[in-house]
């Protein structure tokens, strides 16, 4: 007979995995509080001076603002396009539908470095200079698959007679969309928007290919800064990024539960 492992050993193993996953984040957060002017863990003393020091680095603040704007624009446009495309894919039969589905799924499969190179080539070929808009377009392509995964999941099993009922009561198709369809699939749409935001905000690989002196997003800024200096400025700005992402994840959790988001990605 096979001996059963005691239950606590499973729990212990899970705990180890969690610690392993969370450790880098905790290290970054804590070492941003160090009083030394080099990064060290555990931190020596506790201070918030490195956060205050960020004020003396306007380039970080500019990058932060740029990243937020790019992520915001990406999120809104990718969500609109992704939602409309999801509706088309789920509800209508049309020529080339499978091609579109494949195409839309491909950024999930292609390594983002490859995608970055491709985008760079493409932009130089059609003559688009590096600009926030160019970056937003790249990020939209990168994030539409995420949006579509989530929105398609919320559309599958959507009972269309609900929309027919609204039409029957006198609602035109625009009204039906905004008053009935959208509210019902809103959790998928919101989750998609937040995923798009986070993906764009955190993206380094694609952004690296589109940098110019005036288009430097926060991850790129941190990356380049680190090549010359290694002080707690890095960890403090990283901590801010982490916290922002955490806040957004909590919002998703509130809206529809993280478990559901990942289940529906399947």
Partner 1 sequence: MSYLCLENVVKTFNKTEVVKKMNLEIEKGELVSFLGPSGCGKTTTLNMIAGFLEVDGGKIVVDGKPVHLLPPNKREMGMVFQNYALFPHMTVFDNVAYGLKLRKVSKAEINQRVLEALEMVRLSGYEKRYPKELSGGQQQRVSLARALVIKPKVLLLDEPLSNLDAKLRQEMREEIVGIQKKVGITTIFVTHDQEEALAISDRVAVMYEGRIEQVDTPAAIYNHPQTDFVSRFIGEVNHIQAEVMESNDDQPCKVSFDGYQQVLSHHVPKGVLSEFYLRPEKIQINLENNQGLKVLVERKMFLGSKTRYIFLNNNQYLFADISNTVFNPDQIKEGQEVLAVWNPEDLLPVKK
Q: CA of 153: how far to CAs of 65, 97, 179, 254, 260, in Å?
A: 32, 17, 20, 18, 10
Q: CA of 69: how far to CAs of 99, 146, 216, in Å?
A: 32, 19, 12
- Determine the size of the site formed for partner 1 (CB under 8 A): 16
Minimum distance of partner 1 from residue 183's CB (angstroms): 5
Please name every residue paired with 215 in a beta bridge, in sequence order, or none if there are none.
212
Q: Which of residues 153-192 bind partner 1 (CB under 8 A)?
A: 159, 161-162, 164-172, 175, 180, 183-184
SS3 67: helix
Q: Which is nearer to partner 1, 135 or 191 (CB)?
A: 191
Q: CA of 10: how far to CAs of 2, 4, 20, 22, in Å?
A: 16, 11, 15, 18
Q: Which is nearer to partner 1, 168 or 229 (CB)?
A: 168
Please name every residue paired with 212 in a beta bridge, in sequence order, or none if there are none.
215
Build a one-symbol-per-residue string for 31-70: x at contacts with partner 1 by CB under 8 A, - elsewhere.
----------------------------------------
Minimum distance of partner 1 from residue 154's CB (angstroms): 12
Q: How far apart are CA 143 and CA 146, in angstroms?
A: 5
Q: Which is nearer to partner 1, 25 or 171 (CB)?
A: 171
Q: Which is nearer to partner 1, 155 or 206 (CB)?
A: 155
Q: Which is nearer to partner 1, 104 or 191 (CB)?
A: 191
Interface ranges with partner 1 (CB under 8 A): 159, 161-162, 164-172, 175, 180, 183-184
């Amino acid at each position: 007979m096979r001996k059963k492992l005691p239950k606590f050993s499973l729990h212990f193993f899970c705990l180890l995995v969690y610690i392993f996953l969370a450790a880098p984040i905790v290290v970054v957060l804590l070492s941003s509080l160090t009083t030394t002017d080099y990064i060290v863990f555990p931190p020596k003393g506790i201070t918030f001076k490195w956060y205050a020091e960020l004020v003396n680095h306007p380039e970080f603040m500019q990058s932060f603002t740029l990243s937020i704007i790019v992520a915001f624009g990406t999120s809104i446009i990718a969500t609109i396009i992704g939602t409309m495309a999801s509706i088309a894919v789920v509800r209508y039969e049309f020529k080339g539908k499978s091609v579109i589905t494949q195409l839309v799924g491909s950024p999930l499969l292609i390594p983002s470095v490859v995608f970055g190179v491709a985008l760079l080539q493409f932009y130089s070929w059609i003559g688009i200079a590096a600009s926030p808009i160019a970056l937003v377009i790249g990020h939209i392509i990168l994030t539409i698959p995420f949006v579509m995964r989530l929105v398609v999941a919320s559309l599958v099993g959507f009972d269309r007679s609900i929309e027919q009922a609204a039409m029957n009561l006198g609602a035109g198709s625009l009204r039906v969309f905004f008053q009935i369809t959208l509210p019902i699939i809103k959790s998928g749409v919101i989750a998609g928007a937040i995923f798009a935001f986070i993906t764009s905000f955190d993206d380094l690989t694609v952004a690296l290919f589109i940098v110019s002196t005036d288009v430097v997003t926060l991850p790129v800024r941190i990356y380049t800064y680190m090549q010359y200096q290694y002080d707690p400025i890095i960890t403090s700005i990283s901590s801010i990024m982490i916290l922002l992402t955490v806040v957004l994840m909590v919002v998703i959790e509130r809206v529809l539960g993280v478990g559901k988001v990942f289940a529906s990605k399947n």
